[in-house]
Structure formats: C-alpha cells, structure tokens
Structure 1
Amino acid sequence: MAYSPVDLPVRRAGLELAWEKIDFTAFERLIFQLVVETEGYENVDWLMHTNAADHGRDVSAVRLRKDPLSGHSSQRVAIQCKHWLSRAVRDTDANQAIVSISHWENPPFDVLVLATSGRFTSDAIAWIERHNSRGQRPIIEVWNDARLEFLLNERPHLVRSFGLR
C-alpha cells in the first residue's frame, strides 16, 4: 500500500498547540527530539543551522522496519521542517524540496518528510499524490499541524518543555 497524504488527521479540539510560542529553531529541535524518542528510528542527526543551505535536510535518520516474515529493512529519511504559521505549504514548495533533496545522492534518501506547523494546500497534496504514485525515490510523507499535535499529545513532556500549551 502506498503512502497517501489524504489520510492525514484533522485537528481535534483540545489537542491544539500554541505553535506561535516557538521559533524556527525550536521547531527543528522539537522535530529532532520527536524522532530521537520514537522507536524504529536511529542515527538521528540535526546537522545544520536553521535556515542554512541544507538542501532539504533539516533532520535525517534511518527508519528501521522489522518484519517477522520478510526480515528487516531500513529507509534513509530526510525531514524538511517548515514552521509556517501564515501560509500553507504549496505544490511549488514540495517540488523545490524534491529538487533540493536530490543533492544528497550518495546514498539517496528513500523518504522525504515535509513537517509543518501549518497545513498543505490542495494543490500540494495533489502534487505529492502524483509524485508518490510514480514510485520514484524519495516518497514524500507529510506531517501537518494536526498530525504533529496527535503525535505530541502522546509525549506531553515535549509539549511542556517547548511551552506549546
């Protein structure tokens, strides 16, 4: 089954976070900490300064998949952080992220996560769906505000330490 951003959760009352209380650097640090603490991810790196020419790689990791029948596999994952409160991620932003991540080709990334404290436009979702349906590397996954709020609700210590509620 292919990844589909259409399956993103919607915002639920009571889970909203005060994204305006953090800046770009804190958002990247939050995403880094979230990935570090999540089982199945290893070799998590936050290598460059916020807003550096990182070619779409704010945070990177290796995602491990354990299948008792087929064995283990891993995926190289890059996460592009977009702490955008005033506008949504557009199709041109997704396209630019793919172009930028192609600079990291040895070895290439299998997955590009676009993580935002905001939303994606319908054109962006359609563009990502078309890109993913071609089966080309990297597959794009999206983490919008609602997904991050859901994930962070399970980690209240992160919500508290970043002052998001």
Structure 2
Amino acid sequence: MSQEEEYVRCDRCFEHFPAEELEECPSSWHEVKHGITIGHQFCSDCCVEVFQNEGCQSDVGNCDRATKLMAEHLKNYAEKKGFSSYEGKEHVYLDAFKAFCLADFSVSPEEIFEDEASLLPDELEFFEGKETFMVKQVDKKFSFSKVLVSEVLEAFEDLGCYKDRFYFLNKRHVLVVTSDGMWGALAPRTEEAFDVERSRFIEETRYGHKFFELGKEDGFVLVDTKMMEFDWSKLTDQKFVELCCDIVKSLPQVAKVRITEGTSDLGQDIEAIEVISSLVGKIKQKLTIQCKHFLARKVASSDIAQLPNSYSQLKFDVFWLMTDNYLLPSCHRMLDAWDKDDDLPFKVVRWDRKKIEDYLRNQAEIYTRYFG
C-alpha cells in the first residue's frame, strides 16, 4: 500500500496524517452533490485552533475531540479561579465558598446531586430581582444569589458557551444552569432574600405608579395600605448597632449573634454565626459586622480601609457593612475589589439605608421598636 493511501490530508492545514489521527467535524462539511455532504477532517492541532478561535462548544457530546477540549478548558479555568474538586469527583469544580459549581457534560447534575426529581422551566415560575434570582414552585419559593448566577453565566461566556437554560432539582433545591458545552449549579439562599425583593418591588411599584400617574385607564390600580417613615436622627450610635443586631438576629439562617466589646477599632461591632446551604450541605461561617451611623455624610473608603488588616485577629468568613446612609463610589469600588481578591478569604455584604428600610418593611416588630 502506498504512502498516499495510508495517509489522509487535513482539510484545514492540508498536511497529511495517519487516518486515525484525523477527526471528522460535525459542524464543517462540503457538499459533493446536491443533498450529499462530506464532513471535513481535521488534525488535532487544527481542532485546537478551531475550538479556540471559532468555537466548537455546540459539538460537545457529538464530537469526541470537542468534548475533550471542553473538559480541558474548563479544568484550566477552574484551576485559574482557585476552584476545588467537588467531593473528589472529576469534571466538577466547586467555588471557594461552596455556593456554586461548574462541570462539563461527562457528568450530569442528576448524577452528581443524586436527584432525579428535576423540574423543567414550564413547571416553575422565575423572577429576576435586584439582587436575587427567584424560583417558585406551587407553594414553595427559593432564592438564589443573582451575583452567583451572573458568575456562572460569565464562566459560560468566558469559555465560549451560550444558549443558557434553567431548571431545578426538586429534592436538593439546586438551581441548574445549562449551556451548549457545560453546566453550573447553585445552592439556594434563605427566604429572607425573597422577602427583601418583595418589599423592594412593592416600593418601586409605588413610586413608579406615582411618577407615571397611572390609573384605571392604564389597567393599573395601586392601593397603598402601609407607609413607613424612617427618622434615622432618632437613633444614637449605640441604638443603631442594636438595630443592626436585631436585624441580624431575625435572619433565619443566623445561629448566634452578639454585640462585641473592644473590637470596634478593628472594624467589628457585631459578630454572628450563620448556617448556610451549600452544595456540600450545611456549613457554618463567621460574620463580622461593622455599623456606620452616619447622618451627615456617606461612608467613604477611608472609613473601612483598615478592615483587611484586622482579618488575622478576627478570622471571619463574611464582612458585612451596615449603614443608615449610603456608600460613596470609592467605597463601593474598594468593597468590590476585596470581593474579587483571591488573597482575601472573605466575602463582602453591604446593606445601606435603602436595603435596611426594604427589610424593615417586612419586620414590623423591629420597625416599631426603633421608629414607632
């Protein structure tokens, strides 16, 4: 047999290779006759270039080489982001806070979470709030961090995967997001987030109704049954800390809360332990809460700049800033930078006046105690 008969030409680089080293591409072909097509055959190097430059994510599952390349790219991405293996399983990568995972299609969400009771979108109701992605199933409702949903979708985009679709694992209460080359899964938050979004929606609807002067002729009638007023000048610094403490105590996932003595200079006025849902079960994390009762000005970055230096003493998992004013852009930028800094092993939560007021509208007892 001649050398030409033993070797086959790659349809991209036009070099000749042993036939077994070429892969027929399911997305690239030429028509030899009307209605008759022949798939192009590529060598491994050309497949890598096509995958990186043109994208073969839609071929994952149909092309062995595309499936392998997708797995390699996801593994490299996970290592770069500092993700860990999910319970020692290959192809599934867990973020540092165990709140979401990413995986390729060599494994399925149902297999990983041992939950075959999946609900498709037409069996659920979805609502995207300001900070929360919500799922409702008949009389049950679940909240998921919109930030984490965005991180999953950004990972899809970074890896060239699109066509996002949501569904729900009913037994584990896990939200699954799939694309054409990989999938992600998120653990739920508590109903507290659902209540905050509900309150915010009501408030924004009230203001929108007034601003646009909507009425019956618009098919929109709003009955305002409760107006709460917040006079923050009534509170002293200590009273504001006590209010923040009561708010934290009211959260269903919080197990222990106390106002601390002697640590305010370190950036901690309150410490708490919360038990949260993760993809590996319930986990405890320590909250360090700093309270800023600033009536005359907004919170600046200089007001919190020393916080990372206190980490070695306080050892917290979450830094939570609460203020009855608002944050300057520089403060937001600093908190955003901390949240994205892999060298800082804590998450950041911020509640400004608007967020606190939204929450208190669902907490009449706490509201009355401080503003009634």
User: TM-score under structure 1 normalisation?
Assistant: 0.81
Contact kept in structure 2, 1:94 and 1:128, CA below 8 Å: no
Higher RCO, 1 vs 2 (CA within 8 Å, ≥6 residues apart): 1
Distance 1:155 1:45, change over 3 A: same
Show structure 1 runs of 5+ residues with no match: 4-8
Q: Which residue is 1:160 aligned to?
A: 368
Q: Which residue is 1:17 aligned to?
A: 230
Equivalent positions of 1:55-134 (< 5 A) are: 55-67=266-278, 70-104=280-314, 108-134=315-341
CA distance in 1, matches of 2:360, 2:244: 10
How far is the alpha carbon of 1:63 from its aligned partner?
1.4
Q: Which residue is 1:6 aligned to?
A: none
Distance 1:27 1:70, change over 3 A: same
Give the AA of the match of 1:57. Answer: Q
Q: What's the RMSD between the two structures over aligned residues?
A: 2.7
For these two proteins, the number of residue pairs brought into alignment is 155
Distance 1:62 1:2, change over 3 A: farther
Distance 1:15 1:131, change over 3 A: farther
Secondary structure, counterpart of 1:131 in structure 2: helix
Contact kept in structure 1, 2:267 and 2:304, CA below 8 Å: no
Q: Which residue is 2:248 aligned to?
A: 35
Identity of counterpart residues, as a percentage?
22
Between Structure 1 and Structure 2, the one with more strand by share is 2
User: TM-score under structure 2 normalisation?
Assistant: 0.38
How far is the alpha carbon of 1:98 from its aligned partner?
2.8
- Is it true that 1:144 corresponds to 2:343 in the alignment? no
Q: Which runs of 4+ in 1 moved over 6 A?
A: none
How far is the alpha carbon of 1:47 from its aligned partner?
2.5
How far is the alpha carbon of 1:103 from its aligned partner?
2.7
Show structure 2 runs of 5+ residues with no match: 1-147, 151-199, 208-226
Q: Which has the larger radius of gyration?
A: 2
